[in-house]
Every structure is written in structure tokens, then in C-alpha cells.
Amino acid sequence: MTAMPSLPARRLDLSLDLIARAHATPVPDDPSALGMLSDAELRPGLEAITAGREGHDIWVFAYGSLMWRPEFPVAESRIGTVRGFHRRFCLLQRRFRGTPERPGFVLALDRGGLCRGVVFRLPGMEIREALMPVWRREMRGRGYVARWLPVATEAGTVSALTFLANRANERYAGRLSDAEIAEKIAAACGHAGPSAEYLFRTVEACERLGIRDRHLWNLQGLVAARLRACVPGT
């Protein structure tokens, strides 16, 4: 079970209603905006990262959308901390929650600092079968590299599959200011929805779990201000 939050949730400036009013027009999908790896292309990487780990508990560290939409069976979850990397909006998103003309951002772990998130233990099953859904989701767009990292929890340290920013990929934007990131997030929307919704749901999940992240909190305020400025009557 995930530990109960130790801090009360704060009221966000950003809301789903504000986001919906700012992005009322659906955006069609453009498959050419982001080339996706096939399962056949993904499988060698999955086999390499899982080699020798059969029989071990399978843990996955979540710090963004996996916290509120894991899309894999979960046997146990804990609040956990990864050291040496921090959560940051540093991967451009030209499809799903953005377009080539108005790219949004998604989160990745970048070098330095630490990150609190949720570590999930998957049910006992064949390791590649268990991990393929999350491997496909995170790795097919080439924005991440995967590593097994130690995650500290109150019940002890576990080794968890963790997705880091792929600094060699052209989607990696480097360290932009919060104002620059907020400008793109506020404007971006793809066929999967607005970039601001991804931000909102991640901040909401962190607040619900008692995880305080200054980068996310600053961004939700900046994005809310930009959306209010372009929505009449707010």
C-alpha cells in the first residue's frame, strides 16, 4: 500500500474546467509528427534490460503520468525517492499532447537532485510479459532511456525500472526556464488532449500523495495565468 500523505493537498490555480475552455477545439492525430518504434524494434532493448533478472521482484518507478495512469497490474505501491535525478518538463511532445507547430512538454528525469514518486511492484509473472506494456508506452517515442535504479522507501530500498531523459534525442529541450516551459504547455494540444491536462493530473497526483515538487507547482500557476489571459470571462 502507498503511504498516506503527510501534508494536506493545496488548492491548485490550474483546473480541468479552465483547460477545457482554453482548448475547446479537438485536434486531429498526425502520425507523421512522431515516428514510433514497433514491438519488434522494442523487444531487443527489453530483453537486454531484463537479462538476468528473472525471479526477482519487478518494480517500476513512476514520477509523471504513470502515477495516475499506470496501465499495468499493480501488486503493491510505495512512496519512493530516487537520488541523482530530478523530475522536469524537458521532453518536447509534437504528437499526443502537442503538434509540430505547437509542441507541448512531457516529464522526464534529468541529471541532478532527487525525485519523490511512486514505486509499483508488478504481480509475479514472466518479466518481459509484465513489462512490455510500460516499455512500449515509454520507449516507442525514443525520448527515454531505461535504467534499474535504487529507490528508497520506508520499507527498504528496491531496484526499479526507471525512465530517464534521452539527452541524445532531438526531443530533449535542455534546461529551459519555468516561464518558457509554461508558455509551450499553455499553448499545446494534441489528439490525446492539452499539454496542460498532463501537468494538472501530475500535480494533482503529487498533492494527493503528499509529494511537494516546486517545479510542478510553479508551472501550474504560470500555466493557469496564461490560460486565464486567453479565456474570456475568467
Residues annotated catalytic, as ranges = 138
- Measured CA angle at 51 (ends 50, 56), to 5 deg: 65
Helices (H), the chain: 16-22, 39-50, 65-68, 127-139, 178-187, 195-209, 214-230
- CA distance between the termini of the chain: 40
**138 close to 146: Cβ distance less than 8 angstroms:** yes
Q: Please enumerate in sequence order all residues whose Cβ is within 8 A of that of 126, keeping only pairs 6 or more positions apart, or say none.
A: none
User: What distance in Å separates the CA atoms of residue 141 and residue 28, rounded to the nearest whole number?
Assistant: 19
> Identity (one letter) of the amino acid at 112?
G
The dihedral of CA 91, 94, 181, 6: what is its sign?
negative
The grid coordinates listed for 168 are: 541524445
**1 close to 76: Cβ distance less than 8 angstroms:** yes
